[in-house]
Amino acid sequence: MTDRPSYILFITDQQRYDHLGCNGHPVLRTPNIDAIAAEGVSYDRFYVASPVCMPNRASLMTCRMPSSHGVRSLGVPLGHENVTFVELLRAAGYDTALIGKSHLQNVSDWPVQIEPQISREGFTPPPAELAEAVRSDLDNDQYQYERQKFWQQDNPEVPLPYYGFDTYISVLRHGFNTGGHHERHVRDVAPEVHALRSRETQFPHDYSCPQAIRVKIPEEHYSTSYIADRVCEYLDSRRGNPDPFFLMVSFPDPHHPFTPPGKYWDMYRPEDMPVPQAYAANDWDPPDYVKIAERDRANDPSLGQNAGYTVAVSPREAQEARALTCGMIAMIDDAVGRIRDAAAEAGVMDNTVQIYTSDHGDHLGEHRLLFKGAEQYDSLTHVPFIWADPKGTSGQRSSDLGQTHDIGATILEHAGLEGAIGMQGTVMSVAGGAGRDAAHIQYETQRPQEAFGSRPRVHTVVHGQWRLSIYLGKCRNELFDLENDPGEMTNLWDSEDHAAVKAMLIEKLAELEIAVANRVPLPTAQA
């Protein structure tokens, strides 16, 4: 086993592709993450399987698309009938650990937002146990391990392995409101700090950006530091251990609320941040979802202070959100530096692949919007991906396409392990694979939205220089030329000059949808 490589997968939450120094950000400095890039290969065209946390993290774990693993939207836990690539590593003798955010199960007790089905007059509704077309047990006790109620018990213990992880140190939710092991740690060692975990106890500031909260939590008790501390301890414990390991280091930042602690709050100034193109494009005719967001925010300036969905923002608010996001990423970069040092001190760096990515992006003012939603803009779907193999290529950039559900497939290939039948990830070129010629993205949400309709669903293909998105419901479909219109300002869906391109992309999307239709469970007999 000693000749098999180990893996450290760094994953952040809601970090756009362009928010790294090595990916060309004009202000943000990320020397430690840049060092990983200098040691490996950085992908310029890496996309999520779904631009929202739970579905995309489930795709990471299962190497499958949301329509196949079942986590189509937020609110659907990952069923244990799904095999994860981490389980395959574990079965092959790997030690496995997740330190940080999981979000493979629900973390809130908020009620679902699906409109109830109303029975027609004269029709008898089905009994509750037959009301859904597929029976499931996704609300039983084994899917409650990331909820606050579970962690309020005297001695909560998550049964291991957890989706294949032998070690699971949890940090739930975001900002000042993190839960799991992190919250219990702070409450035990620094109860006075635990009492500061509130919007009402923040330092005064003059930011108007929704969910900008200047927390009084010291840097050493913030979630990013806690994760780095636990990871360093884990790596130190591996001194002399000959077994290979897979370690996922999962930071809840830079997801909103925008809460960089201590020095990271004012590390970057809003006025130094680029103003997004949409604010200067006087001839731009925004799509309906932008117009509705701007109308709603004008009617209620406080909109977005608690929401996790897309809201409209002013140019200044966009710059504030960007500055605070850069502060949170800078803190992550410092944590990555500490972890890399710990890995070197533990003597594991020479045979460990380092990987860096994120689960989705954030508008951060692009198209005058903040946060994320059903929109399919590059700012939400395009994320960093860096692969640094100490025995492989260094300091290179790749224009190959890759996606989140390719990560596990690529790790398994690199480790010399076969994947499970039905996994849909493509082996990337860093592990000798052919890669993919198109990115395929699926999105669904339970929240009814005026611009998109009830339970909006949208599927996207990125192929060559083009992005095509088809919305099920009210929203107009989209076609963008990413090469000549990188800001995605001109929708070409109705352009006669682009009819042939549109037809080609619709055919490509249909092929991709057919390719990811489930082929498991396998037949149990010929017939």
Domains of the chain by start residue, with CATH: 6-114+136-515 (3.40.720.10)
Rounded alpha-carbon distances, angstroms, from residue 39 to 22, 43, 244:
12, 13, 21
Digit-coded pLDDT (tens) for 332-387: 999 999 999 999 999 999 999 999 999 999 999 999 999 999 999 999 999 999 99
Given this model, what pLDDT does residue 2 score?
62
Digit-coded pLDDT (tens) for 406-462: 999 999 999 999 999 999 999 999 999 999 999 999 999 998 899 999 999 999 999
In degrees rounded to 5, what are phi and psi of residue 472? -90, 110
Closest CA to 504 of 519, 516, 518, 492: 492
Digit-coded pLDDT (tens) for 84-128: 999 999 999 999 999 999 999 999 988 898 888 889 999 999 999
Amino acid type, 354: Q
Other Cβ atoms closer than 10 A to 325 = 25
State CA 197 to chain mean position distance: 24
**pLDDT reading at 1 higher than 50:** no
Distance CA 42, CA 39 (A): 10
Digit-coded pLDDT (tens) for 461-516: 999 999 999 999 889 999 999 999 999 999 999 999 999 999 999 999 999 999 99
Distance CA 35, CA 69 (A): 35
Closest CA to 194 of 173, 215, 211, 212: 215
Q: Are 178 and 252 in contact (CB under 8 A)?
A: yes
Distance CA 44, CA 331 (A): 23
- Please work out, in degrees rounded to the nearest 5, the angle formed at the alpha carbon of residue 310 by the alpha carbons of 306 and 313: 85
Can you give the three-state secondary structure of 229-245, one letter per residue? Answer: HHHHHHHHCCCCCCCCE
Given this model, what pLDDT does residue 306 score?
87
